[in-house]
Structure 1
């Protein structure tokens, strides 16, 4: 079974839609990424497989093929890690939850499953609005000013486990930086519209 997860690629300051298509099947253990990935994207397979293993989803005797579409556009940076991990989990039958079509996922994964901010997140947020996405799941970054865009729900996560909990319909605790707490700010959204 194949799975498709939406992400956003960056070309300079312009963002564009990237469909992360994943197929997991029985076979010699390997992960292949196609669709003009640069070296940092190719390294995603190591980060993602380590994070999945840490969370209890080892890819033993699984052949994983990842296609980053559009194939003719060069992909760079680690921002596809989160979408790749979700595609593997869905295609491999590790999760049953539906991945909403109008939701994008960006963020770099660490080996323990933590989701880290990536360069160009503001451009990716603006691109998500242009692409008419309803929701963008992204890592929290206290150095980025709070952004509110009509018609686009920004949902901040700290880990891949947070994302899996969101997909399963669970609410997450609010995220606040120490500076936000001192200023008395409200936490950014971690509610995920399941509908």
Structure 2
């Protein structure tokens, strides 16, 4: 997350530099209660996008969605994605970006709720980028799980383990975790390995 990249993104939308919004995002991703949903996660997502940018129909919209998709992160709340999407859309609306583009960005961010398959191709790419963490090596995956647990340290252990296992099982139950062929090729097998191991640990197996 650097200012130069942000300014290039703003230029791609024909927007002013919007440094106040950049600072808002930096501050948001630096909040002390975050352990996984930080600027490091956004940087990881942006690197994933750079490696797969040819898959995007509207690369700037995909990138903006990734910058904003966890801008609001309150572990006690269930509407973080909506509030994050509202922030992104407020920026675009303020500068007269077309409603079609605004609504696509909103859809991309809302797709990271991971409740249902995305219906827009670029949203599928955003989701694959967000879920690429599931397919990293075992050490990095273990750190990811530990960071998520730290964000929910206020949840009693048995309840957390049950709910977390249910979430991971929902990904494992999908015919494929990843929608795009490059992400499926690279991450599907290790993601399933990581999920199976994590679920077994959570379930006490």
**Greater RCO structure (CA 8 Å; 6+ sep):** 1
Q: Please confirm whether the aligned pair reaches a TM-score higher than 0.5, indicating the same fold.
A: no
TM-score (norm 1): 0.31
More helix by share: 2
More strand by share: 1
TM-score (norm 2): 0.30
**Structure with the greater alpha carbon radius of gyration:** 2
